[in-house]
């Protein structure tokens, strides 16, 4: 069986810990933000060669809080009980900041999605994270901004 990305990182760098259950929802969202961004950037890159500015514009439109909130609405029925619990913990976490271009409801939903992505990544379930993002974006469809 192929090792997970986080497993490879832990092994190669001799890291201990990284149990997703031991982190706060905002800690999970911290790493989940990066994981979500990598998934989105991979999708955008797959659309072919273009200027870096165009890559950035396309990916930015897909990672903003309102886009993540819309993604959640599509994947909610697909979530397991555990995944929903992680999402809710992230959504309900009290953050010290709010994105300047997002309303509070979208920002909280986005934090929940990022917490879920972080949880799945740390739990070695990257395939599930990618599957959920694909379902939320409509796998197989064009991912136009």
Report d(CA 33, CA 57) in Å as an integer. 17
Angstrom distance (rounded) from CA 93 to CA 24: 9
Spatial CA neighbour of 114 closest among 8, 102, 55, 142: 102
Residues 6+ apart with CB under 8 A from 45: 55
33 annotated active-site: yes
Please pick, among 19, 33, 103, 106, the residue that the annotation labels catalytic.
33
**Cβ neighbours of 138 (radius 10 Å):** 11
Catalytic residues: 33
């Amino acid at each position: 069986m192929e090792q997970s990305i986080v497993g490879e990182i832990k092994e190669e760098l001799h890291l201990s810990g990284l149990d997703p259950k031991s982190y706060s929802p905002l800690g999970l969202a911290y790493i989940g933000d990066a994981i979500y961004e990598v998934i989105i950037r991979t999708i955008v890159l797959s659309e072919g060669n273009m200027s870096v500015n165009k890559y950035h514009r396309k990916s930015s439109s897909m990672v903003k809080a309102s886009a993540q909130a819309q993604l959640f609405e599509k994947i909610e029925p697909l979530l397991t009980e555990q995944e929903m619990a992680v999402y809710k913990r992230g959504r309900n976490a009290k953050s010290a900041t709010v994105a300047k271009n997002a309303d509070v409801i979208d920002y909280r939903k986005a934090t929940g999605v990022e917490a879920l992505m972080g949880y799945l990544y740390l739990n070695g379930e990257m395939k599930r994270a990618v599957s959920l993002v694909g379902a939320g974006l409509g796998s197989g469809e064009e991912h136009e901004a």
